[in-house]
Amino acid sequence: MSIGPITYFGKDRVFVDREPCIQAFRENIQNSRNREYNVLFYHGIPGIGKSKLQKELQKILNEEYPEILWAAIDLNTKTYREVGTFLIILRNKIQEKCKAKFYLFNIAHAIYWKKLHPESPLQKENYPLIKEGGFFSKIIGILDEFGPARLSWDIINNAPDSIMRFLKEQAVDINILAAMEAPEIEKLLPGFFAADFMDYLGTDSKAYIFIDTYEALLDGLRDKGSFHEKDEWIRDNLIQNMLGVSWVICGREKLLWVPECDSDWDMYLEQHPVDELPKKYCTKFLVSCGIRNKDIRNVIIEASERVPYYLNLSVDTFEKISPKKQPAPEDFGKTQPQIFKTFVKYLDSNEIKALEVLSVPNSWDRKLFKTLMAEFDTGYHASKYSELIKFSFIKTDSDGKYSIHQLMRKSLQAYHDPTDCKDVHKFLLTYYSNKIEDIDIKAITSEHETALADAFYHAKKALETEELFKWFIKVSNPFNKAAFWQLITPMYEEMLQLLKAKLGPEHPSVANSLNNLAGLYDNMGEYKKALSLYQRALEIVEKTLGSEHPVVAITLNNLAGLYDSMGEYEKALPFYQRALEIKEKVLGSEHPDVATILNNLTLLYRHTGEYEKALPLCQRALEIVEKVPGSEHSVVATILNNFAGVYESMGEYEKALPFYQRALDICEKVLGSEHPNVANSLNNFAGLYYSMGDYEKALLLYQRALEIVENKLGQNHPTTITINNNYNGLLSEISEENEKR
């Protein structure tokens, strides 16, 4: 082996050709003032060079049109596909180049984020903190301490005159915004972003926004509607509100906006294919990379089929061969698959092992890189990291994370021994699972959410289906308790499909998954969805396990609870009674599961006014759970709340008071101050003070309960509506009494 310097051209290799695409861009710049909306869409197969084309177009703007403001975002980064994150990243990129102020968007996004994560503080560690100082920092503090309910009042008292003038000019009432649930605000975020941007830029200035890897918006959603439904928030809510702004978007397939969305797009949308490079430009590119031998160039061009990804990979191969010997035509692959095999042939064993391992995670940072290299004994030294990441197929994002081009990743995973690949998945499953092990449900951050998503991805690769299901129930349980239902519901939906495919539609594990998913829908107030799932689960377990199995009792109890929540008490009662009979027969009369059903029956009898039936059941349930699981468990708080509620309904307020207080203390200690169960306890406590005539205490408790459920459950959730009605009813009564005075 000869010793000599190694040259890594990597991502700095010369861009060539794409003259038709570039000419279309230049013409677009000249004609952009003549259009309200202006979208250039470049489409082509993976590896054809769309990302490189975008960089060349951006270079043209920098060098020839410095007056044009531009920003770029790549949807290859998974988190950027979420509306709020996309807009935050785009806003940050714009603010790096100009002094645009996104006042309305910043406020709306902070409210939106806080409603999604009411338990989490608005800090740098878990929130893409707004870069504004002064006023907006105060708003962040208000949201963090008091929630959206105090927001509009503090804006009025703290906002500078310039911001107040701006807000008054917007057709948005902060009170209404603060009262909305997170999904409703999310739909409005693109409009707020556009309004702020246009307020700064105006319609006379030029601006370009680049979006790459557009097809990623459909990632994981291919069976859930057409593509144009997934990009509606960009097409209809963002682009159409940014008059005069030009968009350059790259994706795999031609857009169908004209036939499927609106025929008017025919006037504003230009679509251009990114085809194979002409041979003369392939030659120019290879010469620029130091490949002087004509025969070698011809072999590379023919094998690559003039696709830039394969041309680049052939150059990587050339650069690996050159220090060892004089490259010859026979050293290069003759087809696209052979190009990969040839490249691997000239890697040393340590490089091959390193790349195989790195093809398993979706992305990695330097810390994870070192961990993986050591764990799997690749022999690849951390000091050579900078050489590895210069390969043409390795990309980096703005967060400092690296990933391998999808074509190379697919090839490496096929090349990788399946057993070894699974071992890496298992390791990464443990790695990400450890990040959420023994998690405090009162302190879940966005990092924990990401770790759960990554762990779930690797668990699907590492575990058999039934083992995967058991693991997921355990690992998602803290997120369920912390009311992160929107996060885990899609995972449960996917889990259900995996179980059906592997075990069949009538397996007990399928019923278990149906039960869990129904419980999530129940918690989110989507009772119709929950009902059909519970009913299907009951059919399966009765058929497969028998009519007196404990799992049947669990499903009966869940179904009865749903009917209770829906106010259909007559339907609920027989399900509760049957569930109780099964549990007592199978588990004994002192089992905590028996106490749960007794407590549920107590609540039902309270709803129907049968207090004498409710009291002994509640007393018995409390005695059971104070033994096991213990006096400070959340289930004890639930039973205490019901016990107090029965006394309150009977008019025995003094007896109810200590039960409510103890229930509230347990909930806050165990679940945190912003949990929906705390809101329920506060609502109950407020109702008692209302009945006792202590309106001042009741009002404060209703206010706090309402803030929690608006943040956590949304404005339209049945619990939120109930508490809001209670709160408004008390306000009306106070107002009437004041008028009488």
Please report the pLDDT score of residue 59 as a whole number. Answer: 92
Is pLDDT above 80 for 194? yes
Please report the pLDDT score of residue 498 as a whole number. Answer: 94
Please report the pLDDT score of residue 11 as a whole number. Answer: 45
Range picked from 493-502, 666-675, 729-738 for highest mean pLDDT:
493-502
Mean pLDDT of 597-605: 90
Query: Which range (80-84, 282-286, 330-334) has the least confidence?
Result: 80-84
Is pLDDT above 50 for 3? no
Q: How far apart, in Å, are the Cα atoms of 636 and each of 615, 624, 627, 629? A: 15, 9, 10, 9
Average pLDDT, the chain: 85
Q: CB-based burial of residue 707 (10 Å sphere; 0-12 exposed, 13-18 middle, 19+ buried)? A: buried
Is pLDDT above 50 for 144? yes
If phi > 0 it is left, if psi is from -120 to 50 it is alpha, else beta; for residue 568 that is beta
**Contact present, 635 and 591 (Cβ < 8 Å):** no
SS3 (DSSP) at 41? strand
Please report the pLDDT score of residue 636 as a whole number. Answer: 87
Is pLDDT above 60 for 126? no
Mean pLDDT of 285-309: 93
Please report the pLDDT score of residue 286 as a whole number. Answer: 93
Is pLDDT above 90 for 275? no
Q: How far apart, in Å, are the Cα atoms of 581 and each of 10, 418, 498, 534? A: 70, 50, 33, 19
What is the percentage of the chain residues whose pLDDT exceeds 70? 87
If phi > 0 it is left, if psi is from -120 to 50 it is alpha, else beta; for residue 220 that is left
Which pairs count as long-range contacts for 138-141, CB under 8 Å and 24+ apart, including other chains? 139/106, 139/107, 139/110, 140/110
CA 607 to chain centre: 38
Taking the whole predicted model, whether its pTM rises above 0.95 is answered as no
Mean pLDDT of 454-460: 95
Please report the pLDDT score of residue 201 as a whole number. Answer: 78
Mean pLDDT of 397-401: 75
Contacts of 395 by beta carbon, 8 Å cutoff, 6+ apart: 76, 402, 403, 404, 405
Q: CB-based burial of residue 13 (10 Å sphere; 0-12 exposed, 13-18 middle, 19+ buried)? A: middle
Query: Which range (73-77, 141-145, 227-231, 390-394) has the least confidence?
Result: 141-145
* Tokens standing for residue 62: 């920098």
Contacts of 673 by beta carbon, 8 Å cutoff, 6+ apart: 442
Mean pLDDT of 413-421: 92
Instruction: Give the pLDDT confidence of 468-485 residue by residue, as tens digits.
Output: 999 999 999 999 888 888
* 138 closest CA partner among 162, 155, 156: 155
**Contact present, 182 and 150 (Cβ < 8 Å):** no
Identify any residues that bridge with 74 across adjacent strands, giving them in sequence order: 212
Mean pLDDT of 2-19: 50
Is pLDDT above 80 for 730? yes
Split at pLDDT 50, 70, 90, the class of 710 is confident
Q: CB-based burial of residue 4 (10 Å sphere; 0-12 exposed, 13-18 middle, 19+ buried)? A: exposed
Is pLDDT above 70 for 175? no
Mean pLDDT of 28-41: 84
Mean pLDDT of 360-388: 91
Instruction: Give the pLDDT confidence of 42-52 residue by residue, as tens digits.
Output: 998 888 888 88
Please report the pLDDT score of residue 412 as a whole number. Answer: 94
Q: How far apart, in Å, are the Cα atoms of 638 and each of 275, 642, 653? A: 64, 6, 18
Identify how many contiguous H helices and E strands the chain contains and give both numbers.
36, 7
Split at pLDDT 50, 70, 90, the class of 4 is very low
Query: Which range (3-12, 255-264, 365-374, 645-654) has the least confidence?
Result: 3-12
Q: Which residue has the higher pLDDT, 735 or 249?
A: 249
Split at pLDDT 50, 70, 90, the class of 122 is low
Using only C-alpha atoms, the chain has a radius of gyration, in whole angstroms, of: 31
* Tokens standing for residue 171: 């057709």
Please report the pLDDT score of residue 222 as a whole number. Answer: 43
What crossing angle do the helices spanning 418-435 and 349-358 adopt, rounded to 10°? 50
Split at pLDDT 50, 70, 90, the class of 337 is very high
Q: Measure the CA–CA gap between 73 and 212, rounded to whole angstroms.
A: 6
Mean pLDDT of 261-288: 89
Split at pLDDT 50, 70, 90, the class of 553 is very high
Which amino acid type is present at position 247? W
SS3 (DSSP) at 43? strand
Instruction: Give the pLDDT confidence of 93-102 residue by residue, as tens digits.
Output: 998 888 888 8
**Contact present, 112 and 189 (Cβ < 8 Å):** yes
Q: Measure the CA–CA gap between 632 and 154, rounded to whole angstroms.
A: 38
What is the percentage of the chain residues whose pLDDT exceeds 90? 43
> Dihedral sign, CA of 194, 197, 201, 207?
negative
Identify any residues that bridge with 209 across adjacent strands, giving them in sequence order: 71, 247
Phi–psi pair at 125, nearest 5 degrees: -65, -30
* Tokens standing for residue 739: 């008028």
Mean pLDDT of 372-389: 89
CA 717 to chain centre: 21
Split at pLDDT 50, 70, 90, the class of 7 is very low
Please report the pLDDT score of residue 364 as a whole number. Answer: 92
Is pLDDT above 90 for 511? yes
Please report the pLDDT score of residue 219 as a whole number. Answer: 67
Q: Measure the CA–CA gap between 713 and 706, rounded to whole angstroms.
A: 10
Tokens 């309960």, located at residue: 705
Please report the pLDDT score of residue 84 as a whole number. Answer: 84
- What count of other Cβ atoms lies within 10 Å of the Cβ of residue 6? 10
**Contact present, 22 and 59 (Cβ < 8 Å):** no
Instruction: Give the pLDDT confidence of 642-701 residue by residue, as tens digits.
Output: 888 888 889 999 998 998 999 899 888 888 888 888 998 899 889 899 889 899 999 999
Please report the pLDDT score of residue 26 as a whole number. Answer: 92
Q: Measure the CA–CA gap between 462 and 359, rounded to whole angstroms.
A: 15
Split at pLDDT 50, 70, 90, the class of 157 is very low
SS3 (DSSP) at 445? coil
Contacts of 444 by beta carbon, 8 Å cutoff, 6+ apart: 117, 119, 120, 478, 479, 482, 484
Is pLDDT above 80 for 35? no
Q: How far apart, in Å, are the Cα atoms of 126 and each of 85, 120, 200, 432? A: 12, 8, 29, 17
**Contact present, 184 and 84 (Cβ < 8 Å):** no
Please report the pLDDT score of residue 419 as a whole number. Answer: 94
